[in-house]
Amino acid sequence: MFDSLSGKLETVFKKLRGRGVLKEDDVKEALREVRLALLEADVNFKVVKDFIGRIQERAVGEEILGSLTPGQQVVKIVHEELVTLLGGTQAKLYLSPNPPTVIMMVGLQGSGKTTTSGKLARNFKKDGRRVLLVPADTQRPAAIQQLVTLARQLGVDAFESTEKDPVVICREAVKKAASSLYDVVILDTAGRLQIDELLMEELRKIKAGVKPQEVLFVADAMTGQEAVNIAAKFNTDLGFDGVVLTKLDGDARGGAALSVRSVTGKPLKFVGMGEKLDALEAFYPDRMASRILGMGDVMSLIEKAQETVSREEAQKLATKLKKNSFDLNDFRNQLKQVKKLGGLESIMGMIPGMGKMKLPDAQVNEKELTKVDAIISSMTAKERADYTVINGHRRARIAKGSGTQVQDVNRLLKQFAEMRKMMKSMTSGKMGKMARTFGGRMPF
């Protein structure tokens, strides 16, 4: 996400570095390029105008801090204004002190409401809360079955009803949740291909009937400013408390994320970063601003690592690294951990100063992992423990046994050697210090 915008901003700021004095014309020229980059990223025109105006006022008027170069000072100002633009601080869900907390999901058809409802349910279950998922989209029968199926996958309850009126369904579900001591009720409401008065009237009746603590508007980030315009219309006609942007992992521009707070006045609370049920992240304005400016996002990486890797596994790996006994079995396990964290490129993008680092030629996807498993499984215990014994004859045997080509075996061994070399430098250099910051849980 934000790849294009981040690259263009990096080019702009690179021009400012190394200048002893920063003139007003220098700032204006740089901000013209920033303005163009934001507009190309599909950020709302008025939002861009106000954003650039605030930066220019500060950059021209502020004293340059003694510890920073002028270029760094401009980056600092841009970062602070980006954080403000994105909402300032994290906006958390309001949880009722008297359960159940009722969360109403709204948005157009295809925006990802049903899947997001499941992802939210998973997050609440992980926190130890009892969740009731309520399929209230009677316009699309498949939506009901989809949510019931998601509930089974997650091991949470779904409210199944023969009632046709979504208002009645929601009321009965909330009543059942209160009597059965559920902590959270998530209402998956109907959508349309476009906004119409019948939809809005139905949603207003549900909102008035159950009085949810949170109304979350779900939008597809890939639709850019159209998502923001629809959000503004929903907020005017219905009113909501926060926004969830789905498919942000597939949106390299990010215009909706940068515009929605300013246009609607409502915070972005969650972002969908993939199709899997664990791919819903709380939105942190400061972390996102840092990632946009290429400063990394260490806190998010720490949290992901702590969820993915147990301390026992991390300590076992650390011992192997110290003894230089990291073998092909460990390599296979680490590829799986890397995939859980979003891929090696994603990890490097979260580490300050390493976003542009050239990575080993390893594409971590399902197909590649299957191939890696097959190749390593075709090796003997001796070969897994010491890859240097694998000569040409052994490579041919391994390829035949795994149903792959010799070139695949060669590529895997090359990747392993490169990763081993990288990990050795990480444990001995500055990355070793970062690993200690992670509590020893860096899974690579």
SS (H, E, C) the chain: CCHHHHHHHHHHHHHHCCCCCCCHHHHHHHHHHHHHHHHHCCCCHHHHHHHHHHHHHHHHHCCCCCCCCHHHHHHHHHHHHHHHHCCCCCCCCCCCCCCCEEEEEECCCCCCHHHHHHHHHHHHHHCCCCEEEEEECCCCHHHHHHHHHHHHHHCCEECCCCCCCHHHHHHHHHHHHHHCCCCEEEEEECCCCCCCHHHHHHHHHHHHHHCCCEEEEEEEHHHCHHHHHHHHHHHHHCCCCEEEEECHHHCCCCHHHHHHHHHHCCCEEEEECCCCCCCEEECCHHHHHHHHCCCCCHHHHHHHHHHHCCHHHHHHHHHHHHCCCCCHHHHHHHHHHHHHCCCHHHHHHHCCCCCCCCCCCCCCCHHHHHHHHHHHHCCCHHHHHCHHHCCHHHHHHHHHHHCCCHHHHHHHHHHHHHHHHHHHHHHHCHHHHHHHHCCCCCCC
CA–CA gap between residue 230 and residue 264 (Å, rounded): 10
Same-domain check for residues 221 and 194: yes
* Cα atoms in the 13 Å half-sphere on the side-chain side of 75: 21
- Quickly state the pLDDT bin for 434 (edges 50, 70, 90): very low
Same-domain check for residues 105 and 215: yes
Position of tokens 């460990």?
330
Residue 94 counted as domain residue: no
| Phi, psi at 117, each rounded to 5° | -60, -45
- Distances from the Cα of 437 to the Cαs of 231, 301, 432, in angstroms? 40, 11, 9
Same-domain check for residues 71 and 119: no
Same-domain check for residues 349 and 425: yes
| pLDDT for residue 370 | 77
| pLDDT for residue 347 | 53
- Quickly state the pLDDT bin for 436 (edges 50, 70, 90): very low
Same-domain check for residues 118 and 73: no
- The length of the chain in residues reads 444
- Quickly state the pLDDT bin for 201 (edges 50, 70, 90): very high
Asked whether the predicted pLDDT for residue 217 surpasses 90, the reply is: yes
Residue 161 counted as domain residue: yes
C-beta of residue 413 within 8 angstroms of C-beta of residue 387 = yes
135-172 pLDDT per residue, tens: 998 887 788 899 999 999 999 999 988 888 999 999 99
| pLDDT for residue 403 | 92
Residue 107 counted as domain residue: yes
Percentage of the chain lying above the pLDDT 90 cut: 38
The last residue of one of the domains, among 253, 288, 323, is 288
Same-domain check for residues 351 and 242: no
The lowest-confidence range among 8-17, 69-78, 248-257, 352-361 is 352-361
Asked whether the predicted pLDDT for residue 372 surpasses 90, the reply is: no
Which of 100-104, 223-227, 273-277 has the largest mean confidence? 100-104
- Quickly state the pLDDT bin for 47 (edges 50, 70, 90): very high
The lowest-confidence range among 25-39, 50-64, 94-108, 287-301 is 287-301
| pLDDT for residue 306 | 53
Asked whether the predicted pLDDT for residue 435 surpasses 90, the reply is: no
Same-domain check for residues 14 and 50: yes
Mean pLDDT of 185-213: 90
Asked whether the predicted pLDDT for residue 79 surpasses 90, the reply is: no
Residue 442 counted as domain residue: no
The last residue of one of the domains, among 288, 317, 342, is 288
Q: Using N-to-C axis directions, what is the helix angle for 430-437 and 406-428, rounded to 10°? A: 80
Same-domain check for residues 416 and 267: no
Structural domains counted in the chain: 3
Same-domain check for residues 50 and 149: no
Residue 95 counted as domain residue: no
The last residue of one of the domains, among 258, 288, 318, is 288
Structure tokens at 199: 């939809």
Residue 444 counted as domain residue: no
Same-domain check for residues 281 and 306: no
- Quickly state the pLDDT bin for 390 (edges 50, 70, 90): very high
CATH number at residue 205: 3.40.50.300
- Quickly state the pLDDT bin for 234 (edges 50, 70, 90): very high
- State which residues form the domain around 143: 101-288
C-beta of residue 113 within 8 angstroms of C-beta of residue 106 = yes
* Greater pLDDT, 1 or 356: 1
Residue 96 counted as domain residue: no
* Greater pLDDT, 150 or 62: 150
Asked whether the predicted pLDDT for residue 43 surpasses 70, the reply is: yes
Asked whether the predicted pLDDT for residue 2 surpasses 80, the reply is: no
CATH number at residue 419: 1.10.260.30
Residue type for 433, please? Answer: K
Q: Which residues pair with 136 in a beta bridge?
A: 189
